[in-house]
């Protein structure tokens, strides 16, 4: 059909980022904003933009679809659709600074006893331990992991990384491949997971790995919940091996009110708020990728088919 849309912006009417994306797309493609459950003519659609859970149906119903721009960093719900003919781009290059703030803020708050100190009602001159010289391991050495590593090094931490093949990455003292996760975790004082959700990242943080960490280590998960075996984390905390766990992501979200994590001493739950998405970032990433798409070039941030990220 002559006036059928070529680009779908899938979002609730209140989503503030849609105006920017529409302004960028309209000069190049016939674009419309639709609610997730709207039924429209999709025979001419070649691009869709939106949150992954809202895009499953459009992806399956648009026969000429060539590019999907996610408004989230995590694309678990749609990664399996990536192919030689369909490029899927996560919201990359956006969350590193916010995640670095989150990790360092929690690490310092726990190690320097900030909250407890603030509630003291008597003089207590005993010093708190410093983090300088201690060992931090980061699972995932992409944009988020690298931003955390660079921030941590400013505080004098020794930073190791874990990635699929052990390749060297700027900001890390050394890197291990995923198959060597136990050697990577040996003697760490702090462990941070910034991993995507794939079958290869399932259950990487288990009892065996946790036992390799130094006594009183701190564990943080800002990636995806599938990487952590929650019951084994709880057991490590209850046994006194770990000092604390800061968890932003979970296998089931929202985390059920009766989940034992809520009542486990030493667990801090932050309800998937570690990396809020700045609205303007969606337009900036879309514009960057749109220029490449219009030029007929490959999108640099596209998911690798079959890899999941």
Q: Which residues are catalytic?
A: 224, 272
Helix ranges (H only) for 155-211 are: 181-185, 207-210
User: Which 3-state string (H, E, C) describes 95-153?
Assistant: CHHHHHHHHHHHHHHHHCCHHHHHCCCCCCCCCCCCCCCCEEEEECCCHHHHHHHHHHH
Terminal C-alpha separation, the chain: 35
- Cα separation, 16 vs 20, whole angstroms: 8
Residue 1: how many other CB atoms lie within 10 Å: 7
Burial class (CB in 10 A: 0-12, 13-18, 19+), 288: middle
Residue 265 forms beta bridges with which residues?
Answer: none
Burial class (CB in 10 A: 0-12, 13-18, 19+), 22: middle
Burial class (CB in 10 A: 0-12, 13-18, 19+), 140: buried
- Cα separation, 287 vs 293, whole angstroms: 10
- Cα separation, 234 vs 265, whole angstroms: 9
- Cα separation, 120 vs 122, whole angstroms: 6
């Amino acid at each position: 059909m002559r006036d059928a849309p070529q680009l779908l912006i899938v979002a609730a009417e209140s989503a503030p980022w849609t105006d920017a994306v529409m302004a960028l797309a309209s000069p190049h493609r016939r674009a419309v904003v639709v609610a997730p459950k709207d039924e429209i003519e999709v025979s001419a659609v070649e691009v869709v933009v939106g949150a992954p859970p809202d895009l499953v149906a459009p992806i399956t119903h648009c026969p000429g679809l060539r590019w999907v721009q996610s408004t989230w960093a995590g694309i678990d719900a749609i990664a399996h659709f990536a192919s030689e003919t369909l490029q899927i781009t996560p919201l990359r290059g956006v969350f590193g600074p916010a995640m670095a703030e989150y990790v360092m803020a929690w690490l310092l708050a726990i190690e320097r006893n900030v909250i407890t100190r603030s509630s003291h009602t008597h003089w207590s001159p005993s010093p708190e331990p410093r983090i300088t010289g201690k060992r931090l391991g980061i699972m995932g050495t992409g944009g988020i992991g690298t931003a955390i590593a660079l921030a941590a090094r400013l505080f004098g931490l020794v930073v190791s990384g874990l990635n699929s093949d052990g390749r060297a990455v700027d900001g890390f003292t050394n890197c291990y491949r995923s198959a060597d996760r136990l050697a990577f975790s040996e003697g760490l004082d702090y462990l941070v997971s910034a991993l995507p959700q794939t079958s290869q990242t399932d259950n990487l943080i288990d009892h065996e790995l946790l036992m390799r960490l130094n006594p009183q280590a701190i564990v943080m998960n800002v990636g995806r919940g599938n990487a952590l075996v929650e019951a084994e984390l709880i057991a490590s905390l209850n046994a006194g091996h770990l000092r604390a766990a800061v968890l932003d992501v979970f296998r089931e979200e929202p985390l059920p009110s009766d989940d034992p994590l809520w009542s486990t001493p030493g667990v801090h739950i932050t309800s998937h708020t570690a990396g809020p998405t700045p609205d303007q970032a969606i337009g900036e990433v879309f514009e960057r990728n749109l220029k490449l798409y219009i030029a007929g070039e490959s999108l640099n941030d596209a998911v690798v088919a079959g890899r999941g990220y």
